[in-house]
Amino acid sequence: MCSIKGLTGLEFAGGIPGTVGGAAYMNAGANGQETADVVDSVEIVTTEGQCQTLHRVDLSFGYRSSPFQDMQDLAAIAAVTFRLRHSESARRKQLEYLERRRSSQPVGEKSAGSVFRNPSNLGVSAGELIDRAGLKGVRVGGAMVSNIHANFFVNSGESTSRDMLQLISLVKEMVYQKFGVQLKEEVLYVYPHCNYLNPNRDK
Ligand SMILES: Cc1cc2nc3c(=O)[nH]c(=O)nc-3n(C[C@H](O)[C@H](O)[C@H](O)COP(=O)(O)OP(=O)(O)OC[C@H]3O[C@@H](n4cnc5c(N)ncnc54)[C@H](O)[C@@H]3O)c2cc1C
């Protein structure tokens, strides 16, 4: 909607499923843009029931990380104010991003998006490492490394969460054996599986 209105900064969000609160919490991004670039302020509710407005200058974001992930007393992000600029090319840029997504990702298949974060300072993406390890198409039960984009693991229809967790473990192990790179998850685990496999996320 923003890019249709000629506003730039959130073009990347087209095609990413989620809410405004989830985008701020995860610092969602793609194509060189991220949520943090355009956040002006965030309204939160604490577990004590207090409303607070936090300003961008006081919020320190990183690659797929936000200060909200470390806030012990956060109940919910209630609203986000974005600061966007006018641009004639916003919609064209967004359509290019959407087309790139359609041609390079398993759009329409069941996935959680990118499984692993891109390793920092290696100049190679998690997907390229998995691909170069020859793991496209590898399966555990109904869970499979996508043949279209190796950092997307798809549910072919009958995958259990255990299949998916085992596939994630297997891919981590194979990439480590082949390249000595320890992949770290971008996805977050939900109880009870956080006891089964340590997410081991970077901050
Ligand atoms: C097909 C596909 C493609 C994707 N592509 C991308 C991509 O290109 N780039 C990218 O960054 N991500 C991508 N993702 C991941 C995901 O869509 C984003 O991380 C999105 O921002 C998550 O938003 P959500 O509202 O669904 O949050 P959820 O996934 O429901 O939650 C994520 C975390 O945010 C917290 N949270 C959510 N809402 C709030 C709130 N209001 N207040 C406090 N905490 C909250 C949750 O507790 C949880 O810890 C993709 C996912 C899929 C399935």
Q: Are 157 and 142 in contact (CB under 8 A)?
A: yes
Domain with CATH 3.30.465.10 in the chain: 7-86
Domain with CATH 3.90.78.10 in the chain: 106-195
* Minimal-distance CA residue to ligand 1 atom 14: 113
Q: Identify the band that residue 131 occupies on the pLDDT scale cut at 50, 70 and 90.
A: very high
Domain covering 106-195, topology: 3.90.78
Half-sphere exposure of 185 (CA within 13 A, CB side): 18
DSSP state of 55: E
- Here the tokens at position 119 are 């390793």
Residue with tokens 């901050």: 203
Top-tier CATH class for 7-86: alpha beta
> In the annotation, is 89 catalytic?
no
CA of residue 18 to ligand 1 center, whole Å: 5
* Minimal-distance CA residue to ligand 1 atom 34: 22
Note whether ipTM > 0.85 here: yes
Give pLDDT tens digits for 22-73.
Answer: 999 999 999 999 999 999 999 999 999 999 999 999 999 999 999 999 999 9
Decide: helix, strand or coil at residue 203.
coil
On average, the pLDDT of the chain sits at 93
List the beta bridge partners of residue 121.
none
> In the annotation, is 104 catalytic?
no
